[in-house]
Amino acid sequence: MPVPAALAAQVTAGGARAETFLAAARSGTARYQDRAAAIQDGYRALGPDAPGMGQHWINPSLVLAGRFDAARPQVLTYILVGEQPVLAGVAYAIPTRGGEGAPEEPVGASAWHYHGRTVDEESFLADHHHAGEGAGPDTRVAVLHAWAWVPNPAGAFEPDNWALPFARLGATPPPGAGAAAGKALSLASVGRPFFLKVLRDLCGADSASAALAAGVVAGRAGAIASWVRERGDRPLTPADGAWLEGQWAGLWEDLRRALPDATWAQLSPARGETSGGR
């Protein structure tokens, strides 16, 4: 099955190996565009629908087998477009022991990232990162995302795909739009509860600051939801992308004004990851 032009353009750095790998992933998972087929073959939903990752559907038997096969991923990633599940990508989850490293395929071990906590803890990270220096002694599994069905502007093997908020609306990201535009748009769908939980965890779930942050997020989310309704079905332009990026920057400006200095400092881990255009 040929790789779409939009996908082929983003794997140039990986060369022929990456293109062959993604073609095999698409061929091996084409039947799972019908989620009923995935359920029949043993995939089960695990964790929330994350704005930049979708919902993970995991095949436990494939995880336990620990084999790395492009055509048989341990994880399928779905998003909802309207009310219909759409296959967005796949992921490979290889158990590691005692600091073992990730496989070199398809584009080097540095393309993988490591999970060492529970599914909920890992799901609510603001962003996921590549392996860096490698696995630690507490690492449980090495993970490689491959965006075989919804192209990722940041790269086919980057963990977070901020084109997903656009895909949920049946839209294509506007030319030149950065990750911040996708993050802002996600506030009109699954991103609002996701980022609220991130902020509550950092502020303290029962604190007055958490309530202030929730009000700020609600205000920006409402403005973006209104924009989505007014947009209708028209194609998105660079001006739309700039407006969305401005909304994301404005959210953090509003939080800075609303929150006490001490609480703002507590948001440092999220500010560095969620406020930028990565």
Helix/strand/coil (H/E/C) assignment for every residue in 151-165 = CCCCCCCCCCCCCHH
What would the pLDDT profile of 174-202 be if each residue is shown by its tens digit? 999 999 999 999 999 999 999 999 898 88
CA distances from residue 55 to 15, 47, 164, 191, 242 in whole angstroms, order as listed: 29, 7, 11, 12, 28
Q: What is the pLDDT of residue 272?
A: 56
Q: What is the pLDDT of residue 104?
A: 83
How far apart (Å, rounded) are the C-alpha atoms in residues 140 and 49? 22
Q: What is the pLDDT of residue 126?
A: 45
Q: Which amino acid is at 7?
A: L
Q: What is the pLDDT of residue 184?
A: 96
Q: What is the pLDDT of residue 137?
A: 53
What would the pLDDT profile of 96-129 be if each residue is shown by its tens digit? 876 677 888 788 888 888 876 544 444 434 444 4
Residue ranges per structural domain of the chain:
5-161, 179-274
Comparing CA positions, the residue from 159, 163, 140, 141 lying closest to residue 150 is: 163
pLDDT lower than 50: segments of the chain: 1-12, 118-135, 274-278
Note if the pTM is more than 0.85: no
